[in-house]
Structure 1
Amino acid sequence: MEEEKALVDRVLIELSQIIESEPNLNEFAIIPVMNNEKNTSPLVYENNSIGLEMWAVKYIIIHTKVYLMKMRNLIKKNLSDSEVQKVKRSLLGAVLVQPEVTTYWNMRKELLERGYLSANSELYFTKLVLSYKNKCNEAFTQRRWIFKKAMEDNTLLVANAFLNYEHSHLLLNNELKVAEMTSLTTKNNYHAWAHRIWSLQNIKGLSKQSFSVILASQYESSYDWLFGNVSEHSAFQYRQKLMTFLIKNREKMNNFFVTYEQFTVDHLKLNNDLNSLFINNKKNNFEDFKCLFSLLIYELFHTVKELNKSYPGHESIWYHRRFLIKTLFDEIFNFKSKNRLRINDTNLSKSECLISRDLNELLCMDNIIINFKLFKPEFRDAESIMCFNKIVKDETELIKTSQSLKYDPVQRYLADKYEKWLMCVLQVDLLEE
C-alpha cells in the first residue's frame, strides 16, 4: 500500500512538472499497457504529448480519491503552501483519469476563486483534458465558467489588460478553436457544437464589426465542414443558428448577402431584384426578411441540392431541408401578417394557423377567414404565385428524382418521408407532372 502511494506521489509530481513547464502540450492519452513489466515510470512524454500507462490509472484513482475527499472541505480554509501544492497535484491527476467527476472540477473552481490556480492555466488544462475526452461536458462547463468570469474582468486571462474588444476577440477565438479541435477528433460531437453556439451567444464587449467577421468566417467554413461530415446533425444545427446571428448583425455585414440575393433573384427568375417581390418593402423589418429569405433560398437550392447529389441517403440532409422549407414558409407568412393579423382565438398559435390551410392558397388569397381579420396581402399577386409555385415545383422534382430506381432504397425511403411531411404537416399540394 505504501509503495503504491509513493508511486502515485512520484507520478503526480512528474506529471504536474511537465504540464506546468511545457506550454505547448497537444495531447494527453491513456496508453494500453496493462502491466508494469519494465519497472519504470508509467509516464511517457514526447513530441509535446503525454501518455499514462493504463496499469497506473487504478492506483491514481484510489489514492487521489481518498486524499481529495479528506481535503474537500478543508480547501475552503487557509492551507499551507505544501498542502495547496499537493491538492493541486492530486486534482490534476484525478481529473485527467476521471474527467467526468464533477466534484473534482468544483474543487478546482474553489482553488481558482482563492487564487491558487490561474484562469490561463485552467483553460490550458481543460484543453488538455478535451484532447483525451473530446465529449467531456464537465470540461466544457469549466471553460464556460471561466468565460463568464473573463467577461466580467478583462484582466483575468492576461497580465496587462487588453482593450475590451481585443480581450473578447481573443477569448471567443480560443473557444471556437477548442471546439473545432474536439469536433475534428470525434465526429458527431454534440457538446463541441453546443459550446460554439453558447460562446457566440454569450460573448460581450466585442465590436459588431469584429463579431460580423467571425460570423462570416464561421458560416463559410461550416459549408466546407458539411461536405466532409455530412452525417453530423449538430453541424447542420450550428449552421442554422449562424443564420440567426447573421441576420441580427446584418447592418455590419457589408456585401456579405450580395451573392445570396443574386442567386435568389436568378433562381426565382425575378425581373429586377428582391424589392420587386414585395409591395411594402419600406417596412422596418424588410431588410432583415430579405437577407434571411436569400440565405434560405441559397441554402435550400444550392447547398442542400449539392449535398443531396453528392451524398444521397443521408437523413441529416433531409432534416436540414425540413428546417429550411418550414422556416422559409414561416418567414413569408410572418412578414406578410406582422402588425396586420390578429388571432381571435388565443389558443391558436400562428404556426398552427399556418399549417391548418393550404399554403399555396394562403399566399395568394385576398383574405383569410379562419380566426383572422381581413388584411391586404403584401405580395404582388403575380410574383407571389410564381415564387411559391417555383419552390413547390423544385421540391416536387427533387422528390420524384429521389424516388426513382437509380437511387438506393434508403434515399427513396427518405424522399417518401419528406413528401408525406410536406403534404401532411405543411399542407402543401405537390404539383402533378
Structure 2
Amino acid sequence: MDLVAENENEVLCEKIINDIQAVFLKDPDLSTFEIIPTILNRNKTPVVHAEHHLGLESWCVKHVYDHAHKAIIGYRRQHQSRYLQHSDVLLKYLNVALLINTDVATFWNIRRQMVQTNHLKINCEFKFSALILSKKPKSSEAFAYRRWLYSFQSHDAIDWPSEFGICDRCADRSANNYHAWTHRQWVLQNAPDLIRSELMITEKFMRKHISDYSSYHYRQTLIERAYELCYYESNELEHLHNLKDLISYYLEDDLEILSTADVLQILLPGVDRAAVGEPRLSSFLYCCNLAAHDIRLCDDQKNMYGERESFENHRRSSLRFIVENCVRLLLGELPGLYLTPRTYGQLQEFNAALKKFDYATNAFLSALKRSEGLLGDSHRKWCTIFLGFNYA
C-alpha cells in the first residue's frame, strides 16, 4: 500500500471510529452490537444504528480494528504513565477495539485503570460490558470485568435479578456457555435469596436446551447450595410427591398415603433428629425431592427425545446427591457438618466411609442398589466407584 492509499485508509478508519463514538454519545442505552456481513464498500457509512442496536459492516472491520489497536498502543508508548490523561480520545479506540475483539486483556486492563482514576463511570461500564456480551456471549474477559466492577458496589445496591438475566441471554445464545454459567454461580453465591426463582428458571432452560449440560451442572450446584443453606419450602414438605414416587419405585410399594415423618423414617431410619436439627432434616427432604424430580425429568426427556449423555449424567448426579446425603446423615460424624467435603482430605475420608457403609441396614438404599445394578455393566461400575456399592 503506497503512502497516499495508506493515508486515505487512516482517514476513513478515523471517520468510522468517530461515527461509532458519536452513536455511543447519542444513545447511552445501546443493547446489542453485531458485525453485518457485507462484501463491498457501498460508498456510505458502514455504521448502522437503529432502535438501540449498533452494527458495523464487515468490509471495514479489519482496517478499523488495526487502526484502533495501533492508536491505543501508540498512546501507551508515547505518553507512558500519562496516557490516561488522554482518556477521551483513548476511549473511542478502546470501544471499537473491544467491540471487534473482546478477548484482549490489555484493553480491559486499561479500562480498569480508567475506572480507578475516575475517567470512566461504573454504570456506563456495566452497560458497555453488557453490549460486548450481546456480540460475544462467551467472553470470559467481559464477565470477569463485570465481577471486578461489582467490587466497587454496595451489595444492597446491586440488581442481582438483572445480572441473572444477562446470564440467561448469554446462555440462550450460545450452547454450553461455561463462562455464563460460571458467572451465574458467582451471582448465586452473592444472592442466595433468589434460589427459588433460579430453581424454576433452570428447569425451563433444561427442558428447552436438552443437550446443554452446563445448565444441568448449574442445577446440581443450585440444589447443593440450597442444602448448604438449609433452604426449604414449607408447603413442599407437605407433599414430596417426587420423592415418594422414587421411594415407591425402588421399594415396589405404594407410598401415597405416607406422611413426611414416614418418608424421613424410610430414608433415615434411626437418625438422631435432635443432633441433626429440624432445619437440616427439612432441607434434606426438600432437596432430595428436587433431586427425585430431576431423575423423573431425565427419564421423561429420554422417553421423548431418546438417549442423551446429558440426561444420563444428570440422573446419576441427582441419584448421587440422594445416596450421599442419606449416608452422611446416617453416619453423623463426617467432615463438613453433613455438607459436601471441602478439602481433598475430607473427600478421601468421606469416600472411604461411603465404601464401608453397610447398605443392607437400610431397606431403601438396599433396594436402590439392587435396582440400579440391573441397568448394565457400565452403570454398575459407576455405582461401585461413586456410590460405594459392592456388587461382588
Say yes or no: does 1:222 pair with 2:227. no
Deviation at 1:302, TM superposition (A): 2.4
Q: How does 1:318-397 map to 2 (within 5 A)?
A: 318-339=312-333, 349-354=348-353, 356-357=355-356, 362-365=358-361, 384-385=362-363, 387-392=364-369, 395=372
- Secondary structure at 1:349 match in 2: helix
Q: Which has the higher helix share?
A: 2
Would the aligned equivalents of 1:72 and 1:107 in 2 still touch at CA under 8 Å?
A: no
Which of 85, 102, 105 is equivalent to 2:88? 85
Give the match for residue 243 of structure 2: 264
Say yes or no: does 1:315 pair with 2:309. yes
Q: Distance in 2 between matches of 1:228 and 1:339?
A: 41
Give the match for residue 44 of structure 2: 40
Say yes or no: does 1:426 pair with 2:387. yes
Structure 2: tracts of 5 or more residues without a match: 1-5, 248-254, 336-344
Say yes or no: does 1:64 pair with 2:68. yes
Would the aligned equivalents of 2:178 and 2:214 in 1 still touch at CA under 8 Å?
A: yes
Deviation at 1:173, TM superposition (A): 1.7
Deviation at 1:395, TM superposition (A): 3.4
Give the match for residue 252 of structure 2: none
Would the aligned equivalents of 2:167 and 2:183 in 1 still touch at CA under 8 Å?
A: yes
Would the aligned equivalents of 1:275 and 1:281 in 2 still touch at CA under 8 Å?
A: no
Distance verdict in 2 for CA 1:148–1:266, change over 3 Å: same
Q: Distance in 2 between matches of 1:288 and 1:55?
A: 61
- Secondary structure at 1:283 match in 2: helix
- Secondary structure at 1:299 match in 2: helix
Give the match for residue 404 of structure 1: none
Q: Aligned partner of 2:174: which letter?
A: T
Q: Aligned partner of 2:39: which letter?
A: M
Would the aligned equivalents of 1:243 and 1:292 in 2 still touch at CA under 8 Å?
A: no
Give the match for residue 288 of structure 2: 296
- Secondary structure at 1:198 match in 2: helix
Distance verdict in 2 for CA 1:276–1:6, change over 3 Å: same
State the Cα RMSD in Å.
Answer: 2.9
Q: Distance in 2 between matches of 1:396 and 1:390?
A: 10
Would the aligned equivalents of 1:75 and 1:110 in 2 still touch at CA under 8 Å?
A: no
Which structure 1 residue ranges, 4+ long, deviate > 4 Å from structure 2?
none
Q: Distance in 1 between matches of 2:62 and 2:235?
A: 54
Would the aligned equivalents of 2:291 and 2:322 in 1 still touch at CA under 8 Å?
A: no
Q: Aligned partner of 2:135: which letter?
A: Y
Q: 1:21-48 deviations in whole A, cap 9, x for unaligned?
A: 2243232111121321x21111112243
Would the aligned equivalents of 1:76 and 1:110 in 2 still touch at CA under 8 Å?
A: no
Tell me which of the two structures has the higher relative contact order, counting C-alpha pairs closer than 8 angstroms and 6 or more residues apart.
Answer: 2
Which of 276, 279, 291 is equivalent to 2:265? 276
Distance verdict in 2 for CA 1:289–1:70, change over 3 Å: farther
Q: 1:177-221 deviations in whole A, cap 9, x for unaligned?
A: 1111111111111111111001222x2xx6xxxx43x21011111
Structure 1: tracts of 5 or more residues without a match: 155-163, 366-383, 400-414
Would the aligned equivalents of 2:237 and 2:286 in 1 still touch at CA under 8 Å?
A: no
Give the structure-1-normalised TM-score. Answer: 0.75
Identity value in percent:
21
Give the match for residue 244 of structure 1: 224
Would the aligned equivalents of 1:296 and 1:328 in 2 still touch at CA under 8 Å?
A: yes
Q: Distance in 2 between matches of 1:188 and 1:290?
A: 33
Q: 1:124-183 deviations in whole A, cap 9, x for unaligned?
A: 111111111111111111111101221xxx3xxxxxxxxx63x13x1x122211111111
Q: Distance in 2 between matches of 1:124 and 1:50?
A: 13
- Secondary structure at 2:201 match in 1: helix
Q: Distance in 1 between matches of 2:14 and 2:70?
A: 13
Q: Distance in 2 between matches of 1:262 and 1:421?
A: 27
